[in-house]
Amino acid sequence: MSVGDVALTSEGSILVAVTMRRAENEYASALLEYARSGDMKRIIKTDPFVVKKMALDSEGNIWVLGYDWQQMEISFDWPMIRRLSPDGVWLTSALPRSFFSEDSAPLNIAGPGVVVSDIYFDILEDRMYVWLPGVNRLITLDLAGRILQVVNEPFRRVFGDLVTSVEVISLVFMPGSGVMTQIRGYGEGGETRSGWMASSDLGRGWIRVIDRRVDPMATRLVGLTQRGEVVCLRVIRSGDVEIELAPIGF
């Protein structure tokens, strides 16, 4: 069994997206909902849709990003984003696979100009934000599923000058089309640059995040608080994980 993603509901339950291989090229997928006590509350079957990422809107609807394993080898006519009601009923879909070229791989963790990166998917206010490293695009949609904005190669000039490829270590979306990333860039001559960068317009322009800690790249960016603090995870020598809150400046 593999875990695609984990999310927290407004009621405090924990949703876990899981997939199991039943046979060769056949899968069973579901969302498992747990109480904080660890007791399972329910199972929401998502077959044949394999969930890679999920996000919840303010009404408790569950939005999932992934693929239809029955259709992906024979057709491009299937949605990459689907919405479930809080009761687990399929409602609407968005971002058809056919939006991308047939020879592309939008759900891959590497793509043109991207050495490696996780996929990122979030909902802030009335917008959905998707980073797809397999096609090197940042996409904004509304909650009706309409595509509002597509930014191609958003990290190409992340350090001010041209880099030929990037490794996105972590990424967090911010309200108002903002994004913060922990990133490493590779130039044509083999030089490497790294740092924390932020953009207020989904990658059209970048500024460096001022971080005065001794080694900010030794932590993993996982979120932002409403007070403007960075939430980071740091693995310490014992193997434990520490949570750090660090004020930031631009």
Query: Could you report the per-residue pLDDT of 198-212, keeping only the tens digit for each?
Result: 999 988 889 888 766
| pLDDT classification of 40: cutoffs 50, 70, 90 | very high
Query: Domain check: are 78 and 17 in the same one?
Result: yes
How far apart are alpha carbons 57 and 121 in whole angstroms? 12
Mean pLDDT, the chain, whole residue set: 88
- pTM for this one? 0.89
Residue 44 maps to which CATH number? 2.40.10.500
Judge whether 219 lies within some domain. no
Query: Domain check: are 34 and 70 in the same one?
Result: yes
In terms of residue numbers, what domain contains 112? 100-213
Judge whether 237 lies within some domain. no
Query: Domain check: are 105 and 83 in the same one?
Result: no
Residue 245, exposed/middle/buried by CB under 10 A (0-12, 13-18, 19+)? exposed
pLDDT digits (tens, 9 = 90+) for 145-154: 999 999 999 9
Query: Domain check: are 65 and 135 in the same one?
Result: no
- pLDDT at position 94 is 98
Complete edge-to-edge strand list for the sheet that includes strand 79-84: 49-56, 62-68, 79-84, 90-96
Comparing 162 with 109, the larger pLDDT belongs to: 109
